[in-house]
Amino acid sequence: MTSTTSTLEPGQHGIRPHSDGAFVPVQTRSARFASTEVADFEAVTGTEAVWKLTPVRKLGALLDGDLDGSAYPVSTEAGDGVAIDWIGRDDARIGSAGVPEERGSANAWSGFEQALAITVSGEGRQATVLRTELGSGPRAAHTVITAAPHSTGLVILENRGSAALTENVEIVVGDGAQLTVVSVQDWADDALHLASHFAVIGRDAKLKHVVVSFGGEVVRVNPTGHLSAEGGDVELLGLYFADAGQHLEQQVYVDHDAPHTRSRVNYKGALQGEGARTVWIGDVLIRQSATATDSYEQNRNLVLSDGTRADSIPNLEIETGDIAGAGHASATGRFDDEQLFYLQARGISEEEARRLVVLGFLAEIVQQIGAPELEQRLLDAIEAELGTAQDA
């Protein structure tokens, strides 16, 4: 594996030299500096565009420190047509889907020794990778998921227990393939997790990518979908439930780089408890080459108690006038009083009415996964979160 660096000089994150020697902010999402080497990035101060909403003071070991990049314990289930192996840094699949754009991702890239490779080559195949024993020491990880041309499959990445982890996940969806990737963050309360997911979608291929975050002290999962060939389709879905003191963050990027491509982004979250914090940033770029693009992104947040904060920032860049459609929406609010009144008028208690409203709000995302057993476990987890709120 060779180092990859963009042509822009890094300076500070999101900053580049102006012609008169001054530094000016990078104005477009696609112009960010990128490199696989952590030394190419300045130290994080918390004022950078990609870090200004993140509690960076808690992440020093993952941003600056030495990381354990060795292979770690995993529990896997995979049927015929799915291969799961450890591969070296020199494997040709490393670097095939993306390059880090910030220091945490670059530190993971510089620090990992072996990558976990998941290859889907059949039809209707499913694989589950469960991590429960990462420990509390700072660790780097790298995963490569490959869907062979015209294959179909579902890959579930589940995370539990304690962890201090920064990682990169690469997803390559071959021409005509259909792949669903679900990443579940059900960490212990003390877990710190930084993750960058890079996906490249081939011709007439489709990726459904789902991020589910419940546990952890600071969890930041940033997916990128690059529609690099004509007819590509990506759905980026997310579900999160932040409790007191939790910080759950996701920065989503869709890059339409080819004609007749489609994207849908839909993230939903709930917040309860003092200090519960969520961040969602959605960037969509429709390049000049991406004619006849159809794109829409939205984020909805449901506030269940006082003392919470939800940041929701959609961004849309369009470089061509020849598109099928593009739009974005964002909303954060409390319970819909009319919904509660409707349910209570039919003899349902206020407590049960609130539970039903929250379940209905979040279940829209869960029900799109396409794995009934996992869907039921996630609905049970939402029920448990709501039970915690009622007990508090």
pLDDT in tens, the chain (392 residues): 545 555 444 444 444 444 444 455 555 778 889 999 999 999 999 999 999 999 999 999 999 989 999 999 999 999 889 999 999 999 999 999 999 999 999 999 999 999 999 999 999 889 999 999 999 999 999 999 999 999 999 999 999 999 999 999 999 999 999 999 999 999 999 999 999 999 999 999 999 999 999 999 999 999 999 999 999 999 999 999 999 999 999 999 999 999 999 999 999 999 999 999 999 999 999 999 999 999 999 999 999 989 999 999 999 999 999 999 999 999 998 876 676 666 667 777 777 777 888 888 899 999 999 999 999 999 999 988 887 655 54
All residues at 6 or more sequence positions from 90 whose CB lies less than 8 Å from its CB, including other chains: 1
How far apart (Å, rounded) are the C-alpha atoms in residues 135 and 61? 14
Distance of CA 159 to CAs 91, 132, 145, 364, Å? 25, 6, 17, 22
228: left (phi over 0), alpha (psi -120 to 50) or beta: alpha
**For the whole model, what pTM was predicted?**
0.91
All residues at 6 or more sequence positions from 167 whose CB lies less than 8 Å from its CB, including other chains: 108, 112, 140, 141, 142, 143, 193, 194, 195, 196
What is the rounded end-to-end Cα distance, in angstroms, of the chain? 51
DSSP for 30-61 reads GG---BS-GGGSPPP-S-STTTTTS-GGG-HH
How far apart (Å, rounded) are the C-alpha atoms in residues 388 and 186? 15
Question: Backbone phi, then psi, for 229, in 5-degree steps?
Answer: -140, 155
> Residue 101 belongs to what H/E stretch?
none
The answer to whether residues 243 and 218 touch, using CB atoms and an 8 Å cutoff, is no
Of the candidates 277, 158, 167, 274, the one whose C-alpha atom is nearest the C-alpha of residue 217 is: 277
The answer to whether residues 48 and 54 touch, using CB atoms and an 8 Å cutoff, is no
